[in-house]
Every structure is written in C-alpha cells, then in structure tokens.
Chains A and B, each alone.
Chain A
C-alpha cells in the first residue's frame, strides 16, 4: 500500500476503496462485452477440457462424458502397456527432434543471405517468392510435392535425364524422414527468415560503420556483429520450437504419408486420430492418450518458456 498521493493516484485510491460488488456493478457494461467470448471459451475450450475427465472413466455411449462411471487410472494402464502408443511417442520425438536440428539453421542462413543483398527491390521480390509457400495448406503443398517427387515426377525425370539413379521419395520408409525435412525446408524457410531479418534490421548501424573503419571484411562483420546480435532471437525461436516437439508436423505428416510409409508415419497425433476415428472406438482410451499428449505439451511449453526467460529472452508469456 502506497501512502496517499495527490493527483491521478487519488482517483485510483478512491476507486480501489470501493467494495468489489460496487466495482463490478460499475463495470457491468464491460462484463457484457466479455460474455460472447466467455461463452465460446466455455463451450469449445473448457467443456472439452472437462471432458478429459473421461480419461478416468469408462465411456458408455448412452451415459455420455459426464454420466459414465469412474474407473481411476485403469485406462492409463492399458495406454502405457500398448506398444503402439510407446512407438508413437518415440516416433514423434524422433521425427521432430531430427527435423528441428536439421531445418533450424536454414532460415538464419537465408536471412543472412538476403540481408547481404544490396539491391532493395530485388530483395523484396526474393522475400515474396520465399514466403509464399508458407501460406498454402499442407494439402496444397502435398499436391505439389507428390507431383514433383513421385516416381515419374519432375525430380526423378531430371535425375534420369542426367543418368542418375531415381529415388523413391514417397513410397519408402527410409526416405520418409528426409522427404519431410526437404519439404519442410521448401515450405517454411522463407517465412522463418522474415523473423530473423527483422531482428537483423534492428541492429545498430554504427557497429557496422566502425567495423568498416577498422577494416573488417563482410564475413567478419557477419560473424562478429550480425550473428551475436541476433542470438537472443535465435535462442527464443529454438526454444519455441522445442515447446512444440510433441505436436509439431501433424499436418505435414498426415498429408504426405501413404500406405507404404504407414509404419514410420505414426506419430502421436496420427495415432490418436486412428484409434479414435478409424478403428473400433474406445473413447476412454483415446481420451487418456489425449490427456497424456496435452500434459506433455504443456510441460514442454512451460519448460521452454522458463528456459527462454532464464537465457534473457522474452519468453512466450510475459
């Protein structure tokens, strides 16, 4: 509590002296503004969250989520005993970690390249070309990818023309992860570069000028000035990506997988979809898996946020 003050503070003090119900009555109009959004939140965010209680119940269609009987942790016993579940978790982490490590440097490299380009208009044009694929759905992109990478598509025809062996990008288990990495780089690098370009444009130009006076080469400027300056942004972006390790890539994987790659494409989200909507449904079991996924997601995200803050970044939530 601050001591009484004059001016605007006085008003503030007077306000907070009101009992809460008077305050609420005073702001009744504001509450009516919040009602539509709150109704949405309750119906489509918090009711489903409450529905997660099904993970501890035995679902009966005629009793619904709320009426089904409680069974404790029984569903989880089955979940953790299911080898497909363990495989799906392992597969998710395997795909997303390798993908993250390999794809992460590309946007930074592209941002550096674009930044070094001196022709402003051309730079804008390049940016437009590179960012466009980001705005297409993975369904559209998979149409393009299937056309380019299929057995008789653009790339294999070109390889053939050059007398090189063709590659079965889409139908082989070994090529599945490389294909995901390749298509992800194609789609997302340009967009990712925008964020690093913005960070670069915020660097104080004096640093470059004095480096030039000292005779630093452009390479030296990149390594001694540009990269150290964007390091905080790089860290935050990396950590943000770590936060999504359990859920990233579903759209891509779901739309690029096929019968031939069924075994290697079963990540957790695909697994949840299959057990819920494609096979004989046990909603309690799927909900238990769902809850596991949401919890791990939350823990990853919060941990990532913590680390980002510890490293001096802004974090996800202020």
Chain B
C-alpha cells in the first residue's frame, strides 16, 4: 500500500525523468516550427530590401527599419482595406448579435405551434445550401451586389452560433422570466433586460465568433464587390500577396516583385498588420473558442 501511495505521489508531483525531458524537447522543437515562420515574417518586414536579399533566413534584422511599413501605408490600399473591414464589423456585429439572440431566445421558449418547424428550417441550412451561384443571383436581384451590405448581411447569421446561444438560454432559470412575465413584461423586454444581462459569457463567445468570421472573411467580398476601393482587408491582402506572386516559384522573386510594385518587406508588413488584431484578442479567443467548439461538438 505504501508503494502505491508513493507511486501515486510520484505521478502527481514527481521528479522529471529522462522521458519527461525528451518530451519537453520534442514539444519545444514543434513549437519552434510554428514560431519560426512568424519570426521570419516579422523580421523581414522590419529589414531593408538589401538585407533580405542577402539573408532571407533572418530571424532578427541587423538594421531594423520602418521603410516597408512607410511604403505600405503610403500606398494606402491596406488602409482602405482596414477601413472597410472596420465598417463591416461596426455594422455587422450588432446586426448579427440582434438576429442571433432574438431567434435563439424565441426558440428557447416553451412549446408553441411551429417551433419544431422553425428549428428545422435553421438546422437544415447547416446541411444543405444553395451554393454561391443562386446566392449571387439573389443578391444581384436585391441590388445588394457592389455594396458592403452584401458582405455584412450574408455574414450576419449563423445557424451554429444560434444553436449555441439557444442551448445557453435554455439553461437559464425559467423562474426569472416567469416572474417578469407576471409583472407584465413582454418577451422583448425580458430578452433585453433580463436574459441578455445574464448571458454575458455566451454573448462574448458569439461576438468573438462573428468577429473572427468577419475579420477573416474574403470569399463573399470577392464575389459580391467589384470596386477595389470597397474591398475589405483580407481581399486587399490577397491582391498584395497571392495575386502578385503567382510566379514566385520560377521567376527570381526580385523581378516578380518589381513588376507587382510590392517588395517582400511590404508584403510581410501587410501580413503582420493584418495579424496584429487577432494577436491582441487571442487570449480571449482561445478560451471562448475552445468552450464553444466543445459545447457545439459534444452537446448540440
């Protein structure tokens, strides 16, 4: 018995064995494989074109310079992209939270005629959709193509997020809403003055879900928007990075870059500035996404 306790003790606190150190080394190597590409990107963005040409493997520039960032912001396209994405977020986030929470609260109520049918209508959009072609034609007939509204509206409701929120609402104590109802409060008032204040955690989670989706979205914008000055950040980034380097593979990169007008430093600077907001929100994102995905995958 005493050996057993000793062993259990060892498992809990334990001394580091050879195996533990080996494991640590393996994990450090793996995380370096994630980190080094980032460090390289950031280093290049702060290096001069000449230093990059001499040493593309650099992890720290010897003579840090902001030239790439100056050139990038002087070009201005990335700023337009930022501005458009901010517009999408400012309008899209409140709208999506409104659409999602009203529906989630409605469907979390007691049985009413048609509840199952409406829930099925939501669920069905997760299994089947019209695809991009009819959506484009519908958008066009609604005269929404060519405006940021198309991107905002398409992204402002997600069945998955709605179901997550609905599950949360169903877990709230019904007595609170019942007593408000007895006091004569209507369902809208109950939603906004009782349910939502109690639902801060799920609201935070869902805000982050929609926020990341809007921030990272590009496909809808590519389809629905035609004018360059309307494109959100990711699409601008795409023109800078993907479309200007279609031939990085066989052309010497300096030539290819001169043609596109974007130096490698500028490209890396644009990657970095698009990443910064995600980096700032990341601690929050990690926590909430893990929770959301788990409840979604296991409970739904």
Report the Cα distance A20→B111, complex, angstroms.
Answer: 12
Tell me the minimal C-beta distance from B252 to chain A in angstroms: 7
Tell whether, in the assembled complex, residue A272 and residue B246 are in contact, meaning their CB atoms are under 8 Å apart: no
Does B133 lie within 8 Å of A286, measured CB to CB? Answer: yes
The reply to whether the CB of A135 lies closer than 8 angstroms to some CB of chain B is yes
A132 touches B271 (CB 8 A): no
Chain B contact residues, majority secondary structure: helix
Set B31, B99, B253, B264: member contacting A151, Cβ < 8 A: B253
CB contacts (< 8 Å) of A204 on chain B: these are: none
Q: How far is the CB of B59 from chain A (nearest CB, A)?
A: 9
Q: Which residues of B have CB within 8 Å of A172?
A: 249
Alpha-carbon distance A133/B11, docked complex (angstroms): 33
Query: Residue-by-residue, is A29-55 near B (CB-CB < 8 Å gives 1, otherwise 0)?
Result: 111111011101101111111111010
- Judging by beta carbons under 8 Å apart, are B138 and A133 in contact? no
Q: How far is the CA of A277 from the CA of B238 in the complex (A)?
A: 17
Q: Which of A23, A41, A276 has the most CB of B within 10 A?
A: A41
Does any Cβ of A come within 8 Å of B19's Cβ? yes
Q: A37-B99, A130-B34, A298-B128 are in contact. Are A276 and B136 (CB under 8 A)?
A: yes
B 196-226 to A, binary, CB cutoff 8 A, 1 in contact else 0? 0000000000000000100111110001000
Mask for A94-111, Cβ within 8 A of B = 1, else 0? 000000000000000010
Chain A interface secondary structure, helix, strand, loop or mixed? helix
A contacts with B, residue count (CB < 8 A): 106
Query: Is A9 located at the chain interface by the 8 A CB criterion?
Result: no
A37 touches B134 (CB 8 A): no
Task: Give the CA-CA distance A161 to B112 in the complex, in Å.
Answer: 71
Pick the interface stretch among B22-30, B61-69, B72-80, B86-94. Answer: B22-30
Q: Is A5 in contact with chain B by the CB < 8 A criterion?
A: no
Q: Inside 8 A of A302's CB, which chain B residues have their CB?
A: 127
Quick check: B248 and A150 within 8 Å, CB to CB? yes
Q: Are A194 and B34 in contact (CB under 8 A)?
A: no
Question: Contacts A146-B248, A147-B41, A212-B7 hold; do A283 and B137 have CB atoms under 8 A apart?
Answer: yes
The answer to whether A317 and B123 have CB atoms under 8 Å apart is: yes
Q: Bound state CA distance, A286 and B134, in angstroms?
A: 9
Report if B122 contacts A (CB, 8 A).
Answer: yes
Question: Are A171 and B247 closer than 8 Å at their CB atoms?
Answer: yes
Does A142 lie at the interface of the complex (its beta carbon under 8 Å from any beta carbon of B)?
yes
Whether A44 contacts B102 by the Cβ 8 Å rule is no
Contacts of A54 in B (CB 8 A): 133-134, 137
